């Protein structure tokens, strides 16, 4: 994750420059953020530079008055289908056995959600997660069951392991002798949050997970409350980085709860990151980043180490923002 640091806009204040008014509806009712006339909508934000093209696809839905849930699905699908991207979907780096396994989840404004984990051979796990949400009474399907479900829904199995990822795996095997290396260099995720013209929030999150992981390892990305959480009264958050650390603090749910209690998106992300820092004695290679978007269209991001950035598309402009961070590598 260190390598993705060359982008442009520095915004330690997150979205504060765009929207200055964030208010709780009253002391009695702190469970909802009151929207104001200054609400920025529609708006979509997503992690890393691949978020730029994902935002573009999401914006096409949002600018036509489409729903946030459709925007976040269509948006991340572009990155899943990009064979050159080695951390998400097709072309993702495999596990230590050379098998590409994918994790994804999606959540809408009514707390409906769907997820798949350890899914093989399907290019767009987010679309399968959407089907889990729309067509079943369940939230999470895993492994063989998820694949069987995807096939039943008409998804065509394909080989997800590209020549490049296969070569990288073969090279890794020589040096690493089949031991998974847990570090911050070998994976990241796309998480996306959107607020549509009707003022509804949704989010999505999808990844091939940690490269060369143990077969069957699942990170935070398909876990509702860890990799992603949406509460339409308050805001939404998603995570990238070391999934185990995010799961340990129920990261995205915590960020949303902190916003519910009055924090800005930026402060909420910072507080969650600080909790991760406090809970881990060894922070070597432990990169985690959160992004958050509230009901007013205010956004923010924060990470353990420098180098995390995210893409923001609002008012017809798509740009990168460097997240604030706790420490330098
Ligand atoms: N955050 C992605 C993963 O740990 O799998």
Inside any domain, residue 238: yes
Inside any domain, residue 11: no
Inside any domain, residue 17: no
> Residue 239 in contact with residue 251, Cβ under 8 Å?
yes
- Counting from 1 in the atom list of ligand 1, the atom nearest the Cα of 244 is 4
- The count of domains in the chain is 1
pLDDT of residue 22: 32
- Counting from 1 in the atom list of ligand 1, the atom nearest the Cα of 241 is 1
Inside any domain, residue 8: no
pTM score: 0.90
- Counting from 1 in the atom list of ligand 1, the atom nearest the Cα of 217 is 5
Give 187 Cα–ligand 1 centroid separation in angstroms.
Answer: 7
Q: What strands, in cross-sheet order, belong to the sheet with 299-305?
A: 228-231, 235-241, 288-294, 299-305, 324-327
Does residue 220's CB lie within 6 angstroms of at least one atom of ligand 1? Answer: yes
pLDDT of residue 36: 58
Inside any domain, residue 134: yes
Inside any domain, residue 198: yes
**Among residues 35, 39, 47, 189, which one is catalytic?**
189
| pLDDT digits 0-9 by tens, 278-308 | 999 999 889 999 999 999 999 999 999 999 9
User: What is the domain range of residue 144?
Assistant: 38-168+179-307
Query: Is residue 7 scored above 70 in pLDDT?
Result: no
Inside any domain, residue 23: no
In the block, residue with structure tokens 């987010």: 126
Give 96 Cα–ligand 1 centroid separation in angstroms.
Answer: 15
| pLDDT digits 0-9 by tens, 131-182 | 999 999 999 999 999 999 999 999 999 999 999 999 999 999 998 877 766 5
189 has catalytic annotation: yes
CATH, residue 130: 3.60.20.30
Strand 23-24 relative to strand 33-34, pairing: antiparallel
Q: Which of 216, 227, 288 to mutate to test the pocket of ligand 1 (most atoms within 8 A of CB)?
A: 227
Inside any domain, residue 282: yes
């Amino acid at each position: 994750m260190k390598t993705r640091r060359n982008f442009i806009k520095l915004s330690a204040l997150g979205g504060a420059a765009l929207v200055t008014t964030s208010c709780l509806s009253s002391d009695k009712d702190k469970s909802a953020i009151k929207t104001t006339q200054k609400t920025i909508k529609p708006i979509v934000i997503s992690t890393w530079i691949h978020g730029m093209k994902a935002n573009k696809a999401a914006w096409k839905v949002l600018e036509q008055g489409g729903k946030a849930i459709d925007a976040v699905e269509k948006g991340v699908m572009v990155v899943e289908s990009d064979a050159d991207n080695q951390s998400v979907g097709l072309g993702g780096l495999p596990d230590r056995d050379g098998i590409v396994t994918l994790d994804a989840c999606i959540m809408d404004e009514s707390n409906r959600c769907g997820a798949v984990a350890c899914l093989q051979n399907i290019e767009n796990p987010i679309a399968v997660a959407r089907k889990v949400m729309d067509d079943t009474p369940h939230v999470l399907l895993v492994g063989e069951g998820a694949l069987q479900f995807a096939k039943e829904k008409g998804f065509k199995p394909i080989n997800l392991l590209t020549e490049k990822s296969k070569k990288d795996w073969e090279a890794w095997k020589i040096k690493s002798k089949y031991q998974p290396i847990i570090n911050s260099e070998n994976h990241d995720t796309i998480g996306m949050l959107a607020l549509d013209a009707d003022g509804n929030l949704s989010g999505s999150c999808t990844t091939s997970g940690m490269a060369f992981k143990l077969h069957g390892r699942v990170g935070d990305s398909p876990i509702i409350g860890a990799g992603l959480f949406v509460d339409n009264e308050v805001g939404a958050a998603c995570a990238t980085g070391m999934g185990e650390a995010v799961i340990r603090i129920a990261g995205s749910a915590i960020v949303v709860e902190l916003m519910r209690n009055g924090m800005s998106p930026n402060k909420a992300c910072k507080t969650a990151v600080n909790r991760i820092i406090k809970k881990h004695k060894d922070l070597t290679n432990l990169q985690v980043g959160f992004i958050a978007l509230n009901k007013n269209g205010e956004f923010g991001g924060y990470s353990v180490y420098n180098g995390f950035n995210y893409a923001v598309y609002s008012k017809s402009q798509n740009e990168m923002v460097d997240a604030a961070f706790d420490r330098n590598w």
